[in-house]
A = this chain, B = another copy of it.
Amino acid sequence: MITASNDKQSYPIPVASAPVTAPDAVPRPRLPKELVKSTLFLLKRLGDAVRERAVPEFLAAGCNPYHHAVLALLAEGARDTQAEIADALRFDRSHLVGLLDDLEADGFVSRERDPHDRRRHVVKITRAGKQALVQRRAVMKRIENEFLAPLDAESRKQLHELLLKLASYHDVRYGGS
């Protein structure tokens, strides 16, 4: 990102027209063709792009992706233990405790001790949590649409199916065999 600017400079003699180095004269940095041909390289870099671009946008809209994942999981059914939630999302268990504290403070989840086993906490999403989830889904959809902008509906469907096949192969939690 090279930008020509006269800001914060003072010139004893007026500066005339053409810049010494035209922006076009700077060769664009290009990745090695060999890496661009590697599907694993593209996957890794696009994963980074999601982390670097989409996640901050989601955060800027007041949505924490970790909170979103927990709410999405609980919306599909209450969980008997915190460990169950951590394992499904593959979150560190102590990290999850903090997330549940946040969500409980916002009134989005409730934790109740199991009367039959005092060590267990049944975790449920509240009505306010469900409302928050609806609003977050809309934000997520918008960000997803922006990120996938160069692909038409058919290409998006194709991409999703291919990624899901690959993800299911590497991780049973996606519901693969």
A residues in contact (CB < 8 Å) with B: 1, 28-40, 42-51, 53-55, 69, 72-73, 75-77, 84, 87-89, 137, 140, 143-144, 147-151, 155-156, 158-160, 162-175
Residue contact B30 to A144, C-beta cutoff 8 Å = no
How many copies, total? 2
Known: A148-B166, A158-B162. A43 touches B40 (CB 8 A): no
With a cutoff of 8 Å between Cβ atoms, the chain B residues found around residue A31 in the complex are: 73, 88-89, 173-175
Per the bound structure, the CA–CA distance linking A43 and B49 in Å amounts to 9
Per the bound structure, the CA–CA distance linking A37 and B164 in Å amounts to 9
With a cutoff of 8 Å between Cβ atoms, the chain B residues found around residue A1 in the complex are: 77
With a cutoff of 8 Å between Cβ atoms, the chain B residues found around residue A33 in the complex are: 76
Residue contact B54 to A50, C-beta cutoff 8 Å = no
Residue contact B50 to A148, C-beta cutoff 8 Å = no
Per the bound structure, the CA–CA distance linking A69 and B36 in Å amounts to 11
